[in-house]
Amino acid sequence: MKKLLSVVLAFVMVMSAFANAPIANATENISEWDIYFELNEDGTGYKVTGCYAFATGVLNIPESYSGLPVIGIGSNAFYFAANITDVILPDSVEYIEDSAFSMCQNLESITFGSGLKSIGIQAFVGASALSSVTLPKNLISIGEFAFADCSSLCFVTMGNKIQKIGENAFKNTAFYDDTSNWTKGILYIDNNLIKARSSVKNVCIKDGVKTIADGAFGESTSLSELIIPQSLRYIGDGAFGNSKGLNYTFYMGSKAQFNAISKGKQNNKLSLSSIHYNTDCHTYSEKWTVDIQPTCTEEGEKSHHCTQCESRIDITPVPELEHTSSEWITDKKATVNAKGKKHKECTECGEILKTAAIKQLKCSKPKLSKIENTSSGVKITWGKVNGADSYEVYRKTTGSGSYKKIGKTSKTYYTDKKASSGKKYYYIVKAVNEAGVSSSSGSLSKLYLADPTLKTPSSTKKGITLKWSKVTGAEGYQVYRKTGSGSYSKIATVKGNSKVTYTDKKAKKGKTYTYKIKAYKSKVTSAYSNTKAIKAKY
């Protein structure tokens, strides 16, 4: 019995010794047997897809499994793995997929291997105990919200190969929320621009920056001017997507270098701004440019313009111009019963400068004084009318017909050159000035007879023979003669329209005679024909 009690006591003592031993040493590293692996489709390596739910402590991912390298951490692999306190990744791991360690609230540290190139979306979101992150030198991309809500994360360092930083990758971290980490409204991590405040207006990105994160200026609606260093290589998606006020961009390198920068989607606000190259400021011309032309009533504006854009300085008023007066403009014509109105206005702005009345029409009707046939047509003559600027001539062909205007002249006579020989015409005249047209003159009529054309006469034994052209409407012709420099006298009347020849039998040998002809009808005669001279030979 005592022997049995001794055995039991010894067993209890052994068990107590195990119970009081430090358990941490036994559970410090999560066993490789508790980690789940999945072979890639191409069979070249494995990725980790998770671990035993109750595994606790340090997750030390092996560099290989079943003779092949471990190259990645799969999506959601350790999502909400609350028992993981530390993660160590080997150099073989090249990628961490989306949400791989999200909500690992007790994760205090992570050691990245040198081969890591990409970190997925929300890969460490909500890892609230994580306080420090040193990203490997070969890392190329970080997904959006990758370290968001890591509330204790106050220290981050990156390598120089980063090309892509997702939007809000470090939002709501201790580093992000610490205002001392922001420089003039800009948050940088090493040579990377992470975020800009919404209030920034004029931004000079610090020299050495290579990458601008996605959506970095997405809330900066007030951004108006931006200076970009020559060191910049990558601009993320939507980095300037909502920078609607961005007017001017200054790039410290050449146009070719700017075009070589990798630019993500939705950055049209940047490309639409006025881009200046090889400078960090505007270069203004010394010459003045008139931006607003002055008028007669308002000042203009001039300034010095940037040589590469429309930015301007030294905005200076240009004095208003003096008015330039027009000639008188008639607003209302005067009549024989009322005055009219007229004004002068500025030819530049249209402002009325002067007004005046137009005198009531005092223009008397003209008085016809003479009507006669001429070699050019029917000539009408009248007396001058005071105040008249010109005269209008009207004609009709019958006593009961209506008058039609045939001409206008500033003289006191007019010749109707379109009259037809043998026809009778009636004429009236009206005076005209700026106020209007006077009443009609009295009427005068005239039968128009064209003047004959005298042909070269011939001297015969019977006398000097004359011939001329036939005149329409004539009843006959009157022959006139003069000797030497004497005066003309009518020597014969030849009756009959068609009789267009006459022999002067009284011409004396050796004397020189000059002849001319008139056509007649009743008491109306034409103008004289041309003259012809001849010496009688017989």
Give me the pLDDT at residue 5, please: 31
* Residue 302 contacts residue 291 (beta carbons within 8 Å): yes
Structure tokens, 513? 């005679």
Give me the pLDDT at residue 15, please: 36
Give me the pLDDT at residue 53, please: 86
- Measured CA to CA, the distance from residue 52 to residue 468 in angstroms comes to 141
- Measured CA to CA, the distance from residue 345 to residue 36 in angstroms comes to 95
Phi/psi for 241 (5° steps) reads -65, -30
Phi/psi for 190 (5° steps) reads 55, -125
* Residue 231 contacts residue 209 (beta carbons within 8 Å): yes
H helix count then E strand count, the chain: 5, 45
- Measured CA to CA, the distance from residue 444 to residue 424 in angstroms comes to 11
- Measured CA to CA, the distance from residue 433 to residue 419 in angstroms comes to 28
* Residue 248 contacts residue 305 (beta carbons within 8 Å): no
Give me the pLDDT at residue 359, please: 79
Residues 122, 123, 129, 131, CA torsion sign = negative
Rg of the chain (C-alpha set): 58
Structure tokens, 469? 């052209």
* Burial group, residue 162, by CB count within 10 angstroms (0-12, 13-18, 19+): buried
Give me the pLDDT at residue 515, please: 97
DSSP 301-319: EEEEEESSSS-EEEEEEEP
Mean pLDDT per 10-residue segment, the chain (538 residues): 33 35 50 94 95 91 96 96 95 98 96 97 97 96 98 95 97 96 96 95 94 94 93 95 88 95 93 91 91 90 89 91 92 80 91 89 86 97 91 92 95 97 96 84 96 96 95 97 94 96 94 96 96 92
Give me the pLDDT at residue 339, please: 85
Give me the pLDDT at residue 350, please: 87
